[in-house]
Structure 1
């Protein structure tokens, strides 16, 4: 009887493609992806024992970061550091994904009433070279008026348009701009285990952080709104929301200078409490390699089952961020940042919470 063929080990080789040339022999690399950070960062370093500087490596050059045969980031080179010492010769490169362009570039000066999300994508985003765009939800909200002041970034305007539709924006690994939200209907795709007897353990380390620094037992928003041509000003708007998990008296009062309605003020309060809850709990795990048990690359947006006996944790969590790290002689690891499941809400629209 033939011996079953042992499956090939997953390819965790991190390579950087610049001007159709690939580089992969890194002394160190770090590749970030975070749903709450506009632009994902990357950094690589390699030795140059022969002293030959690659001519295609220039600030602003387009790059593609790959793990094995899979693309994990498209972006540009921001910074180059070329250092020579008596015993070393090293080149370090760093940059961001394509969101860096939207952060750095000012939006065109324009004023438009009822500018839709699609208008912003067509007139602000695409002219900056962002050709691949996908809207994952049919947002019906419109911004009553956009006034782009000198210095407003393209990302600022895009964020405002996305939030008006209850959405957020990020870039997929292949360079596609996605305007959407988390999909909490998908099943958990991986499981992290930390047991005292060591059976089935698949994490190098796991830490839990809980905080009430940004949480309040009750949040009171006081609002007012400026009058428009056809609508009067709004005064003495007030709304209170409560966090039942803060079981001691810790009140907060905040003034919102521009609120369109009582419903909008309520949506803002609920969003603020949700953001505080999100910031108040974090599971940080380090695992070997860059792939889960299915052989899939760890990707923000996954729902993950976590069982940790020392922490008393057993449930589903949301992968908010991950960092691939490694280098020559170091092995490859992934740092995972997990948040409470179904807690991240990009935006809340009045009347559609």
Structure 2
């Protein structure tokens, strides 16, 4: 039963193969087994590849099954359509398009399995790429917020500097009126005279202005700092919202790109392995000598071809003979006077009817 199933997978004529030797049946069962297990590998590989795309087991298995059946049908078609002939060059030329197709299929099958085999290494590469993307994303987003924050900090610095300048002026007025009271400057009269009172009044007015300025600027600084806090919060929120996009940077294309950054030699040997698996049925059939099944199949095809050629020749002969008979019949009819008179009479009647109809139409047009 298993042998019958693998013969079915090989695309060979099961009824014709049953008339061949056991060795011939085993050969085609082996070819069918290769086709079957290649399809199984295609199913596994495509399911994993599609899982990285859909992130859903059921969808990946469903589409992976469709892909496996497609590969199975293609391989079965490729093997079954290679006919053994007496010329190896003709057979190889016949198999060339199928070998190219087998190479393409091998690439498609091997790539997802390479990603699974080197999954840890790919995850490490993706982690490094994600870290780089995170830093680059923060720097890029910071370009939108840093200038605003810097301008606000400059405004804070200007307000603080304004207070400092006013404080310096107030301290200077304090020193002036103290020196006046001590008699070390100004009028140099010891005691609190009119000049001292005037200078003390200027200092007190400047001190009141300083207190007002400190209060006003403190309120302005608090407002600006709240703006900076809001910008910082907004920046943090934007970074947080964009981070899931970076964290999700592990799709099929990202993994293929990460795989390309790994050493090429292991991937190349895996590709060669699947190429050997995929092309083995074709190569086996090309290298195998012409067997009993091939001889019988060629005989059946030649019988059918001969029968078709005979039918075509018969149809051509029938058409040719029928044409010659008709030609002879019409030539004999040329000499029949009765037939000539009858056709002449009918032609005259037709001409009279046409003339009467034309006259009637013209008469109606004139009325």
> Scaled by the length of structure 2, what TM-score is found?
0.19
Greater relative contact order (CA < 8 Å, ≥ 6 in sequence) = 2
Whose helix fraction is larger, Structure 1's or Structure 2's?
Answer: 2
Whose strand fraction is larger, Structure 1's or Structure 2's?
Answer: 1
> Scaled by the length of structure 1, what TM-score is found?
0.20
Structure 1 or 2, whichever has the larger Rg, is 2
